Protein backbone atom coordinates (compact mmCIF):
# COMPACT_ATOMS: atom_id res chain seq x y z
CA UNK A 1 0.00 0.00 0.00
CA UNK A 2 1.56 3.33 -0.98
CA UNK A 3 1.19 6.51 1.05
CA UNK A 4 -1.81 7.85 -0.92
CA UNK A 5 -3.71 4.56 -0.50
CA UNK A 6 -2.86 4.40 3.21
CA UNK A 7 -4.02 8.02 3.70
CA UNK A 8 -7.28 7.39 1.85
CA UNK A 9 -7.96 4.22 3.82
CA UNK A 10 -7.18 5.89 7.17
CA UNK A 11 -9.37 8.90 6.38
CA UNK A 12 -12.21 6.62 5.26
CA UNK A 13 -11.98 4.76 8.59
CA UNK A 14 -11.91 8.06 10.45
CA UNK A 15 -14.98 9.26 8.57
CA UNK A 16 -16.90 6.22 9.79
CA UNK A 17 -16.59 7.63 13.30
CA UNK A 18 -17.90 11.09 12.45
CA UNK A 19 -21.41 11.89 13.72
CA UNK A 20 -22.89 11.95 10.24
CA UNK A 21 -26.64 12.69 10.29
CA UNK A 22 -29.60 14.18 8.48
CA UNK A 23 -30.05 17.76 9.73
CA UNK A 24 -33.24 18.39 7.72
CA UNK A 25 -35.41 15.55 6.50
CA UNK A 26 -36.62 15.42 2.92
CA UNK A 27 -39.35 17.63 1.65
CA UNK A 28 -41.02 17.35 -1.77
CA UNK A 29 -41.28 20.63 -3.65
CA UNK A 30 -43.30 21.51 -6.72
CA UNK A 31 -40.75 22.86 -9.20
CA UNK A 32 -42.50 22.73 -12.58
CA UNK A 33 -41.98 20.63 -15.70
CA UNK A 34 -44.01 17.73 -14.23
CA UNK A 35 -41.16 17.13 -11.79
CA UNK A 36 -40.77 17.29 -8.05
CA UNK A 37 -37.56 18.24 -6.29
CA UNK A 38 -36.89 16.15 -3.19
CA UNK A 39 -34.56 18.13 -0.93
CA UNK A 40 -32.87 17.42 2.40
CA UNK A 41 -29.73 18.32 4.34
CA UNK A 42 -26.91 16.45 6.04
CA UNK A 43 -24.47 17.90 8.57
CA UNK A 44 -21.45 16.91 6.42
CA UNK A 45 -20.67 16.85 2.71
CA UNK A 46 -22.27 13.87 1.08
CA UNK A 47 -23.95 12.51 -2.00
CA UNK A 48 -27.74 12.18 -2.19
CA UNK A 49 -30.14 9.77 -3.86
CA UNK A 50 -33.77 8.69 -3.67
CA UNK A 51 -35.00 5.12 -4.12
CA UNK A 52 -38.51 3.93 -4.99
CA UNK A 53 -40.34 1.36 -7.07
CA UNK A 54 -42.61 2.44 -9.90
CA UNK A 55 -44.48 0.06 -12.22
CA UNK A 56 -42.54 -2.84 -10.68
CA UNK A 57 -39.20 -1.28 -11.58
CA UNK A 58 -36.72 -0.16 -8.91
CA UNK A 59 -35.30 3.32 -9.31
CA UNK A 60 -32.27 5.01 -7.77
CA UNK A 61 -32.22 8.70 -8.71
CA UNK A 62 -29.11 10.69 -7.84
CA UNK A 63 -28.45 14.32 -7.06
CA UNK A 64 -26.30 14.78 -10.13
CA UNK A 65 -25.33 17.58 -12.45
CA UNK A 66 -24.29 16.71 -16.00
CA UNK A 67 -23.54 13.14 -14.94
CA UNK A 68 -21.48 14.01 -11.87
CA UNK A 69 -22.98 13.00 -8.55
CA UNK A 70 -22.68 16.07 -6.36
CA UNK A 71 -20.49 15.52 -3.31
CA UNK A 72 -19.39 19.01 -2.28
CA UNK A 73 -22.66 20.07 -0.66
CA UNK A 74 -24.73 19.41 2.45
CA UNK A 75 -28.04 20.22 0.70
CA UNK A 76 -29.20 17.43 -1.60
CA UNK A 77 -31.77 17.89 -4.37
CA UNK A 78 -33.15 15.10 -6.52
CA UNK A 79 -35.57 15.70 -9.38
CA UNK A 80 -38.19 12.98 -9.84
CA UNK A 81 -41.10 12.75 -12.32
CA UNK A 82 -44.33 13.50 -10.46
CA UNK A 83 -46.09 10.40 -11.75
CA UNK A 84 -43.35 8.25 -10.17
CA UNK A 85 -43.77 9.73 -6.71
CA UNK A 86 -47.51 10.43 -6.46
CA UNK A 87 -49.21 7.97 -4.10
CA UNK A 88 -46.01 6.00 -3.80
CA UNK A 89 -43.34 5.43 -1.16
CA UNK A 90 -39.74 6.60 -1.23
CA UNK A 91 -36.56 6.66 0.81
CA UNK A 92 -33.80 9.23 0.71
CA UNK A 93 -30.16 8.41 1.32
CA UNK A 94 -26.80 10.13 1.69
CA UNK A 95 -23.29 8.76 1.90
CA UNK A 96 -20.57 10.86 3.49
CA UNK A 97 -17.96 11.86 0.90
CA UNK A 98 -14.97 13.54 2.50
CA UNK A 99 -13.26 14.23 -0.80
CA UNK A 100 -13.60 13.21 -4.40
CA UNK A 101 -10.16 13.18 -6.01
CA UNK A 102 -9.21 12.67 -9.63
CA UNK A 103 -8.82 8.91 -9.23
CA UNK A 104 -10.13 8.14 -5.76
CA UNK A 105 -12.58 9.24 -3.10
CA UNK A 106 -12.86 9.22 0.68
CA UNK A 107 -16.25 7.83 1.53
CA UNK A 108 -17.89 6.95 4.82
CA UNK A 109 -21.23 6.09 6.37
CA UNK A 110 -24.47 5.87 4.42
CA UNK A 111 -27.68 7.16 6.00
CA UNK A 112 -31.07 5.93 4.81
CA UNK A 113 -34.45 7.32 5.81
CA UNK A 114 -37.39 5.18 6.77
CA UNK A 115 -40.03 4.62 4.11
CA UNK A 116 -42.11 7.76 3.43
CA UNK A 117 -45.58 7.58 1.87
CA UNK A 118 -46.13 10.50 -0.48
CA UNK A 119 -49.70 11.55 -1.17
CA UNK A 120 -50.10 13.27 -4.52
CA UNK A 121 -53.38 13.99 -6.26
CA UNK A 122 -55.70 11.02 -5.73
CA UNK A 123 -58.98 12.03 -7.36
CA UNK A 124 -60.21 13.52 -4.11
CA UNK A 125 -63.50 15.50 -4.19
CA UNK A 126 -61.93 18.60 -2.67
CA UNK A 127 -58.39 19.92 -2.76
CA UNK A 128 -57.20 21.76 0.35
CA UNK A 129 -54.40 24.24 -0.29
CA UNK A 130 -52.85 25.75 2.83
CA UNK A 131 -51.48 29.21 2.03
CA UNK A 132 -49.00 30.58 4.56
CA UNK A 133 -47.10 33.80 4.05
CA UNK A 134 -44.97 36.07 6.22
CA UNK A 135 -44.03 33.59 8.93
CA UNK A 136 -40.85 35.67 9.39
CA UNK A 137 -39.03 32.97 11.32
CA UNK A 138 -41.74 32.32 13.93
CA UNK A 139 -43.09 28.90 13.06
CA UNK A 140 -44.53 28.30 16.54
CA UNK A 141 -46.91 31.23 16.07
CA UNK A 142 -47.99 29.91 12.67
CA UNK A 143 -48.50 26.38 14.05
CA UNK A 144 -50.85 27.76 16.72
CA UNK A 145 -53.10 29.05 13.92
CA UNK A 146 -52.72 26.05 11.63
CA UNK A 147 -53.82 23.65 14.37
CA UNK A 148 -57.30 25.20 14.12
CA UNK A 149 -57.72 24.34 10.41
CA UNK A 150 -60.19 21.47 10.32
CA UNK A 151 -59.29 19.96 6.94
CA UNK A 152 -56.04 18.15 6.12
CA UNK A 153 -53.66 19.82 3.68
CA UNK A 154 -53.18 18.39 0.20
CA UNK A 155 -50.69 21.10 -0.80
CA UNK A 156 -48.77 23.57 1.37
CA UNK A 157 -47.93 26.94 -0.17
CA UNK A 158 -45.19 28.85 1.63
CA UNK A 159 -46.05 32.16 0.06
CA UNK A 160 -42.93 34.15 0.86
CA UNK A 161 -41.16 35.86 3.75
CA UNK A 162 -40.96 32.64 5.67
CA UNK A 163 -37.55 33.89 6.84
CA UNK A 164 -36.76 37.57 7.38
CA UNK A 165 -33.35 37.33 5.66
CA UNK A 166 -31.21 34.69 3.96
CA UNK A 167 -27.80 35.86 5.17
CA UNK A 168 -26.54 32.37 6.04
CA UNK A 169 -27.20 28.93 4.59
CA UNK A 170 -28.92 27.96 7.84
CA UNK A 171 -31.53 30.71 7.26
CA UNK A 172 -32.60 28.68 4.27
CA UNK A 173 -32.18 25.18 5.67
CA UNK A 174 -33.78 25.84 9.07
CA UNK A 175 -36.55 28.23 8.14
CA UNK A 176 -37.57 27.23 4.63
CA UNK A 177 -36.51 23.61 4.19
CA UNK A 178 -37.06 22.87 7.88
CA UNK A 179 -40.46 24.55 8.16
CA UNK A 180 -41.54 22.93 4.89
CA UNK A 181 -40.75 19.55 6.43
CA UNK A 182 -42.47 20.35 9.73
CA UNK A 183 -45.62 21.26 7.84
CA UNK A 184 -45.59 18.45 5.29
CA UNK A 185 -43.53 15.57 6.79
CA UNK A 186 -42.32 15.00 3.26
CA UNK A 187 -45.73 13.43 2.55
CA UNK A 188 -47.44 16.13 0.46
CA UNK A 189 -46.14 18.68 -2.05
CA UNK A 190 -44.87 22.05 -0.91
CA UNK A 191 -44.83 25.14 -3.12
CA UNK A 192 -42.30 27.79 -2.18
CA UNK A 193 -42.86 31.34 -3.44
CA UNK A 194 -39.95 33.67 -2.73
CA UNK A 195 -40.70 36.74 -0.63
CA UNK A 196 -38.90 40.07 -0.80
CA UNK A 197 -37.19 39.44 2.54
CA UNK A 198 -35.80 36.21 1.15
CA UNK A 199 -33.87 38.14 -1.49
CA UNK A 200 -31.79 39.75 1.27
CA UNK A 201 -28.44 38.48 2.46
CA UNK A 202 -25.37 36.65 1.18
CA UNK A 203 -26.92 33.18 0.78
CA UNK A 204 -30.03 34.51 -1.02
CA UNK A 205 -28.29 34.18 -4.37
CA UNK A 206 -27.61 30.46 -3.69
CA UNK A 207 -31.20 29.46 -2.89
CA UNK A 208 -32.46 28.96 -6.44
CA UNK A 209 -29.84 26.33 -7.27
CA UNK A 210 -31.27 24.06 -4.55
CA UNK A 211 -34.67 23.85 -6.23
CA UNK A 212 -33.33 22.88 -9.70
CA UNK A 213 -36.15 24.71 -11.43
CA UNK A 214 -35.62 24.46 -15.16
CA UNK A 215 -33.99 27.75 -16.13
CA UNK A 216 -32.61 30.24 -13.67
CA UNK A 217 -35.58 31.85 -11.92
CA UNK A 218 -37.72 31.02 -8.90
CA UNK A 219 -40.83 30.93 -11.07
CA UNK A 220 -42.65 28.07 -12.78
CA UNK A 221 -46.05 26.53 -13.42
CA UNK A 222 -47.34 23.22 -12.09
CA UNK A 223 -50.36 20.92 -12.24
CA UNK A 224 -52.05 19.01 -9.43
CA UNK A 225 -55.02 17.05 -10.81
CA UNK A 226 -57.57 19.67 -11.94
CA UNK A 227 -55.41 22.54 -10.61
CA UNK A 228 -53.01 24.52 -12.77
CA UNK A 229 -50.95 27.20 -11.04
CA UNK A 230 -48.37 29.85 -11.82
CA UNK A 231 -45.78 30.55 -9.14
CA UNK A 232 -44.23 34.01 -9.45
CA UNK A 233 -41.22 35.60 -7.82
CA UNK A 234 -42.18 39.22 -7.19
CA UNK A 235 -38.61 40.14 -6.19
CA UNK A 236 -37.80 43.17 -4.07
CA UNK A 237 -40.33 45.81 -3.04
CA UNK A 238 -38.14 48.88 -3.70
CA UNK A 239 -36.13 50.12 -6.68
CA UNK A 240 -32.69 48.60 -7.22
CA UNK A 241 -30.95 51.84 -6.25
CA UNK A 242 -32.56 51.94 -2.79
CA UNK A 243 -29.87 52.37 -0.12
CA UNK A 244 -30.96 49.18 1.71
CA UNK A 245 -29.60 47.10 -1.15
CA UNK A 246 -26.13 48.66 -1.20
CA UNK A 247 -25.95 48.53 -4.98
CA UNK A 248 -26.01 44.70 -4.85
CA UNK A 249 -29.29 43.82 -6.58
CA UNK A 250 -30.43 43.75 -10.19
CA UNK A 251 -34.13 43.00 -9.98
CA UNK A 252 -34.91 45.11 -13.03
CA UNK A 253 -33.17 42.56 -15.24
CA UNK A 254 -34.50 39.54 -13.34
CA UNK A 255 -38.11 40.74 -13.32
CA UNK A 256 -37.90 41.63 -17.02
CA UNK A 257 -36.72 38.06 -17.72
CA UNK A 258 -39.70 36.79 -15.73
CA UNK A 259 -42.05 39.02 -17.71
CA UNK A 260 -40.61 37.56 -20.92
CA UNK A 261 -41.19 34.05 -19.55
CA UNK A 262 -44.79 34.89 -18.56
CA UNK A 263 -45.44 36.37 -22.01
CA UNK A 264 -44.02 33.23 -23.64
CA UNK A 265 -46.58 30.95 -21.93
CA UNK A 266 -49.34 29.88 -24.28
CA UNK A 267 -52.85 31.14 -23.45
CA UNK A 268 -53.92 27.48 -23.62
CA UNK A 269 -51.53 26.33 -20.90
CA UNK A 270 -54.16 26.07 -18.16
CA UNK A 271 -57.21 25.78 -20.36
CA UNK A 272 -58.09 22.15 -19.58
CA UNK A 273 -57.83 22.73 -15.81
CA UNK A 274 -60.86 23.45 -13.60
CA UNK A 275 -58.81 25.70 -11.33
CA UNK A 276 -56.25 28.25 -12.47
CA UNK A 277 -54.47 29.96 -9.59
CA UNK A 278 -51.41 32.13 -9.17
CA UNK A 279 -49.15 32.69 -6.18
CA UNK A 280 -47.03 35.78 -5.74
CA UNK A 281 -45.68 37.05 -2.43
CA UNK A 282 -46.44 40.66 -3.38
CA UNK A 283 -49.96 41.45 -4.60
CA UNK A 284 -49.21 44.61 -6.61
CA UNK A 285 -48.32 42.71 -9.75
CA UNK A 286 -49.64 45.29 -12.21
CA UNK A 287 -46.36 47.17 -11.90
CA UNK A 288 -43.39 44.98 -11.09
CA UNK A 289 -40.60 47.41 -11.91
CA UNK A 290 -42.54 48.53 -14.97
CA UNK A 291 -43.95 45.13 -16.02
CA UNK A 292 -47.65 44.33 -15.84
CA UNK A 293 -48.05 40.72 -14.72
CA UNK A 294 -51.77 41.15 -13.96
CA UNK A 295 -52.40 41.54 -17.69
CA UNK A 296 -50.49 38.32 -18.30
CA UNK A 297 -52.45 36.44 -15.61
CA UNK A 298 -55.67 37.65 -17.24
CA UNK A 299 -54.43 36.34 -20.59
CA UNK A 300 -53.66 32.96 -18.99
CA UNK A 301 -57.19 32.76 -17.53
CA UNK A 302 -56.07 32.90 -13.88
CA UNK A 303 -59.10 32.92 -11.55
CA UNK A 304 -57.45 33.89 -8.26
CA UNK A 305 -54.12 35.26 -7.08
CA UNK A 306 -52.91 34.47 -3.55
CA UNK A 307 -50.53 36.92 -1.95
CA UNK A 308 -49.14 38.04 1.39
CA UNK A 309 -46.63 40.80 2.10
CA UNK A 310 -49.07 43.33 3.56
CA UNK A 311 -49.51 41.43 6.86
CA UNK A 312 -53.26 41.85 6.60
CA UNK A 313 -56.22 39.58 6.03
CA UNK A 314 -58.20 40.72 3.01
CA UNK A 315 -60.00 37.89 1.26
CA UNK A 316 -61.57 40.28 -1.31
CA UNK A 317 -58.68 42.63 -1.81
CA UNK A 318 -58.87 45.65 -4.10
CA UNK A 319 -55.44 44.88 -5.53
CA UNK A 320 -55.75 44.22 -9.28
CA UNK A 321 -59.50 44.96 -9.10
CA UNK A 322 -59.63 46.02 -12.75
CA UNK A 323 -58.63 42.47 -13.73
CA UNK A 324 -61.03 39.51 -13.86
CA UNK A 325 -59.40 37.47 -11.09
CA UNK A 326 -59.73 37.63 -7.32
CA UNK A 327 -56.77 38.79 -5.26
CA UNK A 328 -56.72 37.03 -1.89
CA UNK A 329 -54.42 38.44 0.81
CA UNK A 330 -54.21 35.48 3.06
CA UNK A 331 -52.86 36.86 6.34
CA UNK A 332 -49.40 36.22 7.75
CA UNK A 333 -48.17 38.00 10.88
CA UNK A 334 -50.82 40.50 11.78
CA UNK A 335 -50.43 42.97 14.64
CA UNK A 336 -53.92 42.60 16.10
CA UNK A 337 -54.81 39.06 15.10
CA UNK A 338 -51.45 37.31 15.59
CA UNK A 339 -50.51 34.88 12.85
CA UNK A 340 -53.25 34.28 10.25
CA UNK A 341 -53.15 31.08 8.18
CA UNK A 342 -55.58 30.32 5.35
CA UNK A 343 -56.86 27.28 3.54
CA UNK A 344 -58.37 27.41 0.05
CA UNK A 345 -60.69 24.49 -0.65
CA UNK A 346 -61.22 23.78 -4.34
CA UNK A 347 -64.54 21.96 -4.82
CA UNK A 348 -65.74 19.68 -7.59
CA UNK A 349 -68.41 22.22 -8.64
CA UNK A 350 -65.53 24.55 -9.64
CA UNK A 351 -65.99 26.86 -6.70
CA UNK A 352 -63.48 27.85 -4.05
CA UNK A 353 -63.86 28.57 -0.36
CA UNK A 354 -61.11 30.33 1.59
CA UNK A 355 -61.10 30.19 5.38
CA UNK A 356 -58.68 32.18 7.55
CA UNK A 357 -57.62 31.17 11.06
CA UNK A 358 -55.57 32.56 13.91
CA UNK A 359 -54.59 30.97 17.21
CA UNK A 360 -58.12 31.57 18.60
CA UNK A 361 -59.96 29.89 15.73
CA UNK A 362 -61.68 30.73 12.46
CA UNK A 363 -61.72 34.43 11.55
CA UNK A 364 -63.33 34.70 8.12
CA UNK A 365 -64.72 32.61 5.34
CA UNK A 366 -65.27 33.64 1.71
CA UNK A 367 -66.88 31.77 -1.16
CA UNK A 368 -65.78 32.35 -4.77
CA UNK A 369 -67.42 31.34 -8.05
CA UNK A 370 -64.60 30.47 -10.39
FE1 LIG B 1 -42.97 40.77 2.17
CATH entry 1.20.1280 includes domain 3-118: no
Q: Separation of 281 CA from ligand 1 center, angstroms?
A: 7
Report pTM.
Answer: 0.95
- Report the separation in Å between the CA atom of 282 and the middle of ligand 1, taken as the mean of its atom positions: 7
Ligand 1 mean position to 216 CA, how many Å?
Answer: 22
Give strand pairing partners of 346. Answer: 127, 352
For 55, 104, 190, the CA distances from 27, given in Å and listed in that order, are: 23, 32, 8
Burial of residue 111, with CB atoms counted within 10 A of its CB: 0-12 exposed, 13-18 middle, 19 or more buried: middle
Judge contact between 34 and 81, C-beta under 8 A: yes
23 by DSSP, 3-state: which? strand
Q: Using the mean position of ligand 1's atoms as its centre, give its distance from the Cα of residue 81 in Å.
A: 32
- Residue 159 alpha carbon to ligand 1 centre in Å: 9
* Run of H or E including 182: helix 178-184
Q: What is the pLDDT of residue 12?
A: 60
* Contact call for residues 61 and 50 (beta carbons, < 8 A): yes
User: Which residue from 30, 351, 2 is spatially nearest to 192, judged by alpha carbons?
Assistant: 30
Does the domain at 127-369 match CATH 3.40.640.10? Answer given as no
pLDDT at 215: 80
Q: Let me know the angle formed at the C-alpha of 106 by 115 and 114, rounded to the nearest 5 degrees.
A: 5
What is the per-residue pLDDT for 1? 60
* Residue 24, beta-bridge partner list: 41
Yes or no: say if 107 and 18 are a contact pair by the CB < 8 Å rule: no
Contact status, residue 340 vs residue 311, Cβ threshold 8 Å: no
Q: In this structure, are residues 323 and 278 in contact, taking their beta carbons and an 8 Å threshold?
A: no
Q: What are phi and psi of 323, to 5 degrees?
A: -110, 155
- Domain residue ranges in the chain: 3-118, 127-369
How many angstroms is it from 335 CA to the middle of ligand 1? Answer: 15
pLDDT per position in the chain (370 positions), as tens? 666 566 666 666 666 666 999 999 999 999 999 999 999 999 999 999 999 999 999 999 999 999 999 999 999 999 999 999 999 999 999 999 999 999 999 999 999 999 999 999 999 999 999 999 999 999 999 999 999 999 999 999 999 999 999 999 999 999 999 999 999 999 999 999 999 999 999 999 999 999 999 887 999 999 999 999 999 999 998 999 999 999 999 999 999 999 999 999 999 999 999 999 999 999 999 999 889 999 999 999 999 999 999 999 999 999 999 999 999 999 999 998 999 999 999 999 999 999 999 999 999 999 999 9
| Cα 279 to middle of ligand 1, angstroms | 13
* Contact between residue 166 and residue 132 where contact means Cβ atoms under 8 Å apart: no
333, β-bridge pairs: 339
> 77 forms bridges with which residues in the sheet?
39
Report the pLDDT value the prediction gives residue 320, as an integer from 0 to 100: 97
pLDDT the model gives residue 5: 65
The pLDDT, as a whole number, for residue 6 is 64
Q: How, if at all, do strands 227-231 and 275-279 pair?
A: parallel
Distance (Å) from CA 334 to ligand 1 centroid:
12
Amino acid sequence: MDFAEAFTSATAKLSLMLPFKFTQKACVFETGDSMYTVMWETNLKANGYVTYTYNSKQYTVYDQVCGNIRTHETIHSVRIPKEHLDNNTYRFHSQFVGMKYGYDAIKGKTLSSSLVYFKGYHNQDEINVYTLSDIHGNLAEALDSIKNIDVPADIIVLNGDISSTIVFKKDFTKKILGYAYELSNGEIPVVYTRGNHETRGEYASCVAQNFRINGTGMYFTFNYGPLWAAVLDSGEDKPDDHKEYNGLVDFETYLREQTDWLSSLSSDIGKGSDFRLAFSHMPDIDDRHGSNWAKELERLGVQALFSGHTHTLDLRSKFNEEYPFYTVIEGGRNGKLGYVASVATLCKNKSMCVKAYNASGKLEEEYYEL
